[in-house]
Structure 1
Amino acid sequence: MKSPIISAAQLNRRLDDPNLIILDCSPQSNVSGLKPEFGNTVIKNARYFDIDTDFSDLTSGLPHTLPSPEQFGKNCRKLGLDNSSEIVVYDNLGIYTSPRVWWMFRAMGHDRIAVLDGGLSAWVKSGYPTQTAHDTAKKSGNFTARFKPELVSDLDFVKQNLTAKEALIIDARSRERFIGTVPEPRAGVRSGNIPGSVNIPFEEVLDNRKFKEKEELRAVFKEVNDPSKELVFSCGSGITACILLLASELVLDQKKSVYDGSWAEWGSREKNS
């Protein structure tokens, strides 16, 4: 797919394409207090992408950690995904977990994926077909993950960057969480931010549950961006960081990655203070 986002109208025109797989990655809950506009509603033909269990490393001790290529590939095959599949991913909060799934597929070497701009809300409000339950794959797929480590930053890289300053770390959490005036929602995680990081709350790149226009996005990033540096996106647990990542992909050319452990990792280790 040429663009990392797709409109409801564009998706509707391709709804019967046999090579197109629609994935619903709606979360069971979220720490941002967001509520879905439509419950018990699924886009026609959509299959469920379980971001919390099947597609997370449950042994990491951190929420939503990227799984191994083996685990990712195995569960993609269960969903009937092939290496040639074109994927559209959405969630029921408009834009929330879907950019995370877009990034995960890219990190696993699959670029034929786009996020439904506006998510389920945009689809339902357009009057396009829905159903009440998810489809299941009729057969296993042949999907093979090909991990691209350059799209993932880890704790060691972020530590080294404190002195190297090669990357600009952009934090997607709320301003209050970033400056530490409110407690973190996760137990055992202190308040504050990574030294040298800057803050763009993820809501600043969205408008009515969709991404803002490109000129507006350029203006948002211009406030903090240093074009000479690569960009590393962080948040609470690696979910909303990907919203900023996808927004930046629409308007910026720098190398980009996600700090997968994000503040859940950094803020739970006293030696990082």
Structure 2
Amino acid sequence: MKKPIVSVKWLHEHLNDPDLIILDASQQVNQAKVEPQFQDIQIKGARYFDIKNEFSDTDSPLPNTLPSPEAFEKAARKLGINNDSKIVVYDSLGIFSSARAWWLFKIMGHENVWVLDGGLPEWANHAYTVEKPEKRHYALGNFVSKFKPELFKTKEQILENISTKEAVLIDARSEDRFLGETTEPRAGLRSGHIPGSINIPYSNLLKDGKFLPKDELAKILPQNDKPLLFSCGSGVTACIDLIAYELIGNNNPKAVYDGSWTEWGQIDSLPIE
């Protein structure tokens, strides 16, 4: 299995690779209310990957919803992305929204994509070259989406899994949100979790914005032979947990519940614990 992350050292050594594209998937605001340490800078040559607008279904009432393969393809081409592009994606919080961008490429059938471990803070701390972000236009790419529906789950499939227990559902939110001990950051959502799900807060898998070493991750992440489903607040940090399982070499089928708690928590007919 190909490792889903690369180090800043690796990226620095490969900056001049002709088919390399660096994407900045930072979000201007995040539900974790974390302020980025470095603002108004980007890795030299990076292109902005706008998760909220260009790479979400903005017609959906839910945030960060998976775009159609056609919409994704069009937006990727506008960034100059080709079928043979090697993509490294990062964000300004270390590891946060970059994991979602990685998963979006995976579900659209693009294998050559990696997350930059430690993101912009790690890059800047190594004093590697940064620049002010500028609006740029790129030669149109030839990217083609090859959608993989098996990597995506709906609320109906999650509901069915509560009774069948065919897959393990993992919730990446903080423990207090999972247990319903605090109100949700988004207004109007019930507190608690999907029945039968287990809680692995994404923050437990990271240290200083980087993934823990493989042996430490393996101690935290329970394993069996069932498929793994991942959920969180809105489908962003669920992808961090998914990548962590890839890092320990887990080969089980994996999918993200895209609506996550933002969808589940607002539908009164859906069961909660």
- TM-score of the superposition, structure 2-length normalised? 0.97
The runs of 5 or more residues in structure 2 that have no matched partner are none
Task: Give 1:262's aligned residue.
Answer: 260
Given residue 91 of structure 2, which amino acid in structure 1 is its aligned partner? D
Task: Give 1:101's aligned residue.
Answer: 101
Query: 2:118 and 2:90 mapped to 1: Cα distance?
Result: 8
Given residue 243 of structure 1, which amino acid in structure 2 is its aligned partner? I
Query: 1:267 and 1:76 mapped to 2: Cα distance?
Result: 32
1:143-222 paired onto structure 2 within 5 Å = 143-222=143-222
State which of 222, 247, 267 in structure 2 corresponds to 1:250.
247
Query: 1:40 and 1:155 mapped to 2: Cα distance?
Result: 38
State which of 230, 234, 244 in structure 1 corresponds to 2:231.
234
Given residue 74 of structure 1, which amino acid in structure 2 is its aligned partner? K
- Quote the offset at 1:253 in angstroms: 1.7
- Quote the offset at 1:233 in angstroms: 0.5
Query: 1:20 and 1:39 mapped to 2: Cα distance?
Result: 24
Given residue 267 of structure 1, which amino acid in structure 2 is its aligned partner? G
- Quote the offset at 1:135 in angstroms: 6.2
Given residue 266 of structure 2, which amino acid in structure 1 is its aligned partner? S
- Quote the offset at 1:111 in angstroms: 0.8
**Contact 2:105-2:113 at 8 Å conserved across structures:** yes
**Contact 2:78-2:138 at 8 Å conserved across structures:** no
- Quote the offset at 1:187 in angstroms: 1.6
Whether 2:16 is the aligned partner of 1:20: answer no
1:23-172 paired onto structure 2 within 5 Å = 23-134=23-134, 136-172=136-172
Aligned residues: 270
User: Alignment identity in percent?
Assistant: 51
- Quote the offset at 1:136 in angstroms: 2.6
- Quote the offset at 1:201 in angstroms: 0.7
**Contact 2:3-2:246 at 8 Å conserved across structures:** no
**Contact 1:22-1:47 at 8 Å conserved across structures:** yes
Cα RMSD (Å) of the superposition? 1.1
User: Which stretches of structure 1, 4 residues or more, deviate above 6 A after TM superposition?
Assistant: none
Of 31-40 and 82-91, the range deviating more from structure 2: 31-40
Query: 1:194 and 1:218 mapped to 2: Cα distance?
Result: 24
